[in-house]
Amino acid sequence: MAKEEYGDVKFFGSGGSPYARRVQIALKLNGVKYQHFEEDIRNKSELLLKYNPIHKKVPVLVHNDKPIAESLVILEYIDETWKTHPLLPLNPYHRALARFWSRFIDDKVLPAIQEAAWTVEVKKREKAIEEAIEGLRYLEKELNGKFFGGETIGMVDIAAAFIAFWLPLMEEAVGLKLLTHDKFPKLHKWSQEFCSHPVVRENLPPPSRLLGFFKARYASITASK
Amino acid sequence: MSKGEEEVKLLGAWPSPFVLRARIALNMKSVRYEFLQETFGSKSQLLLQSNPVHKKIPVLIHGDKPVCESLIIVEYIDQVWSSPPSILPSHPYDRAVARFWAAYLDEKWFPAMKSVQGAKGEEERKALMQQLEEGLALMESAYHSVSKGKPFFGGDRVGYLDIAFGCYLGWLRVIESFSGLKLLDHAKTPGLAQWAQAFCAHDAVKPVMPETDKLIEFAKVLMAKAPPK
């Protein structure tokens, strides 16, 4: 498709943001031509604040001057608008399941992982680790193919990108062991498949920089006890 | 069995705004279903089996397939029983806007509403009430831009965002009653006040919307059972 056929597409993202990367991956999988606006979250642009006044966050997708915010909402929009690489199954029940697991990742798994990595207080950290492991167990059970989406990457895979790419780096930075090969053989294999997918690979942040960021963050929270 | 013949069950409870979403959607599509009410304070085997991850209502069981999470259930109902009236807007952008506001309500606005009764002290209560008011101001503005002069967020007919937001009206009235403050009324939120009336009077909503008095009684029972601070 020529650029004009996509309409005017603007994407507001920010390097390390896993939520922004979701949208970037989805756009690239669909071959959408867009203008990339890289935001510094400590110094947000006027445009970003104009397009997302409620949350003032990335990612934001603006299509023909109409803004959409919230990564999962954007993924659904991409799925409905550009049909090159569908992100959701057509079957209503499977569609409901894909939405369920995507929400589960955002509401339960990711917060538990963040808590497990960045909490210094021992009891709280241990509880968070348990919750994270329980969440990962559900996902391990749910994975029954190459990807959550079957043979191709779907919305759940994209939502779970954090687990495939950000989590191992966080684990290394803070000395956490969650996504181990023996406990989660399927998830482990999936994360490698996902990260090595040609489109995904090109649209993830540089690992060394992310690792450095996590190490610095960990150093600052353990220093200020 | 064709989809039209498969049995439909809804696990729920009458006071729950989330269960209400599913019931309104089923009513809009004229789907016959069995409403299985959970006993307050305990969870049935069927619930634990069909929603092992969250163990929460509502759960829609269509044939042998459980569908969980109220907004996901509404989308499922709209897709499976695809003849009119449509619940989701037809244009992808309008759908995105509706989903955005539904997510805002569930993730930002409702948690404030839930916390009001359990607020520790006047300071916290005031702050939460202010959050609710600010949220309603946002929704008033959203209503005007989304409805484009029509009665509902969905335009001429009740749609996804009407259902997502309207389900909270009963509990909002309970908070107004306990606090003695008006949050959604003709003075503060004129558009929403009119919308609320139209929504509650709608054929698909009226039979299943819990009465505020009953919710108030139920809230009193809940508060009596709550552990002392």
- In this predicted model, what pLDDT tens digit does every residue of A122-133 receive, in sequence order? 999 999 999 999
Instruction: Check whether residue A132 and residue A44 sit in a common domain.
Output: no
Percent of chain B predicted with pLDDT > 70: 97
Residue B229 or B72, more confident:
B72
pLDDT at A2: 58
Q: What is the pLDDT of residues B51-67, one digit of tens each?
A: 999 999 999 999 999 99
Instruction: Check whether residue A64 and residue A96 sit in a common domain.
Output: no
- CATH number of the structural domain spanning residue A155: 1.20.1050.10
Q: What is the pLDDT of residues B21-50, one digit of tens each?
A: 999 999 999 999 999 999 988 999 999 999
Q: What is the pLDDT of residues A165-217, one digit of tens each?
A: 999 999 999 999 999 999 999 999 999 999 999 999 999 999 999 999 999 99
A201–B contact, CB cutoff 8 A: no
- CATH number of the structural domain spanning residue A65: 3.40.30.10
A62 domain-assigned: yes
A86 domain-assigned: no
Report how far residue A111's alpha carbon sits from residue B40's, in angstroms, rounded to the nearest whole number. Answer: 29
Reported ipTM: the value is 0.95
Q: What is the CATH number of domain B3-80?
A: 3.40.30.10
Instruction: Check whether residue A75 and residue A106 sit in a common domain.
Output: no
Nearest alpha-carbon partner for A147 in A136, A158, A138, A137: A158
Instruction: Check whether residue A77 and residue A118 sit in a common domain.
Output: no
A176 domain-assigned: yes
Domain definitions of chain B by residue range: 3-80, 92-224
Nearest CA in chain A to B77: A92
CB spacing of A68 vs B69 below 8 angstroms? no
Nearest CA in chain B to A97: B67
Over residues B179-183, the mean pLDDT reads 93
Question: What domain count does chain A have?
Answer: 2
Q: What is the pLDDT of residues B162-171, one digit of tens each?
A: 999 999 999 9
Instruction: Check whether residue A145 and residue A42 sit in a common domain.
Output: no
Instruction: Check whether residue A48 and residue A101 sit in a common domain.
Output: no
> Exposure string (b/e) for A83-111, b if CB count within 10 Å is 16 or more?
eebbbbbeebbebbbbbbbbbbbbebbbe
Boundary residue ending a domain (A35, A53, A81): A81
Q: What is the pLDDT of residues A108-153, one digit of tens each?
A: 999 999 999 999 999 999 999 999 999 999 999 999 999 999 999 9
Average pLDDT along chain A: 95
pLDDT at B1: 43
CB spacing of A73 vs B92 below 8 angstroms? no
Over residues A12-40, the mean pLDDT reads 96
pLDDT at B3: 52
Start-to-end C-alpha separation, chain A: 55
Tell me which H or E stretch contains A1. none
pLDDT at A223: 85
Return residues 90-119 of B near A (CB < 8 Å).
92-93, 95-97, 99-100, 103-104
On the question of pLDDT at A94 being above 90, the answer is: yes
Instruction: Check whether residue A21 and residue A131 sit in a common domain.
Output: no
Q: Which of A98-107, A144-153, B74-83, B118-127 has the lowest mean pLDDT?
A: B118-127
CB spacing of B92 vs A54 below 8 angstroms? no
pLDDT at B224: 85
**Which residues span the domain enclosing A146?**
92-223
In what side-by-side order are the strands of the sheet with B59-62?
B34-37, B8-12, B59-62, B65-68
Nearest CA in chain A to B75: A96
The DSSP secondary structure of A85-125, one letter per residue, reads S--S-SSHHHHHHHHHHHHHIIIIIHHHHHHHHH--SHHHH
Which of A54, A63, A73 lies at the smallest CB-CB distance from B99? A73
Return residues 46-65 of A near B (CB < 8 Å).
54, 63
Instruction: Check whether residue A117 and residue A200 sit in a common domain.
Output: yes
Instruction: Check whether residue A28 and residue A110 sit in a common domain.
Output: no
Q: Are B138 and B184 in contact (CB under 8 A)?
A: no
CB spacing of B99 vs A76 below 8 angstroms? yes
Which of A63, A74, A100 lies at the smallest CB-CB distance from B72? A100
Closest-CA distance, A137 to chain B, in angstroms, reads 11
Over residues B81-99, the mean pLDDT reads 97
The tokens describing A36, both together, are 């990339």
CB spacing of A73 vs B76 below 8 angstroms? no
pLDDT at B117: 79
Instruction: Check whether residue A10 and residue A70 sit in a common domain.
Output: yes
Nearest alpha-carbon partner for B20 in B145, B168, B132: B168
Q: Number of Cβ pairs closer than 8 Å across A and B?
A: 54
* Residue pointed to by tokens 């506001």: B101
Over residues B209-226, the mean pLDDT reads 91
Q: What is the CATH number of domain B92-224?
A: 1.20.1050.10
Average pLDDT along chain B: 94
Q: How many helices (H) and strands (E) does chain B have?
A: 10, 4
A87 domain-assigned: no
Instruction: Check whether residue A49 and residue A154 sit in a common domain.
Output: no
Which residue type, as a one-letter code, is found at position B1?
M
Over residues B162-190, the mean pLDDT reads 96
Q: Which of B68, B88, B131, B161 has the highest number of chain A CBs within 10 A, making it the mutation to test binding with A?
A: B68
pLDDT at B222: 87
